[in-house]
Amino acid sequence: MNYSNLLKRFPEVNEVYILVNSFELYLGTQKIKIKIQQGIKNRKYSYSNSHHYHGSKQAGPYTSSRCVMIDSELEALHGAIEELTNFYDENDYNAKWIENEDF
């Protein structure tokens, strides 16, 4: 199906994303899901994580601003995992995993 031609009939729609892959991983005992999407119009990838890590020394849970406009599925997965592990500390017993309400 040619989605681009379909979307031309709806010019008010800025972009539509197709779920191209999903993954599950564990950090410690926390199960985290990752979605990788691709825009129909711009062909760029984006990702979202089911949870965000909030270390006890952080003001809030960490989320990356680089989760959109990615050139490949592999780069998107790399970005998703990097977002999860950048501040992760397995010895921080007061850290929390915050559920992503938009997931």
Question: What is the pLDDT, as a whole number, of residue 52?
Answer: 97
Question: How would you write the pLDDT of the chain (103 residues) with one tens digit per residue?
Answer: 678 788 888 999 999 999 999 999 999 999 999 999 999 989 999 999 999 999 999 999 999 988 899 999 999 999 999 999 999 999 999 999 999 999 9
Question: What is the pLDDT, as a whole number, of residue 2?
Answer: 79
Q: Token pair of 8, please?
A: 């031309």
The domain ranges of the chain are: 32-103
Residues 6+ apart with CB under 8 A from 33: 22, 23, 24, 49, 50, 103
Stated pTM of the model: 0.90
- Interior CA angle at 58 toward 70 and 33, to 5°? 45
Q: Which amino acid is at 53?
A: Y
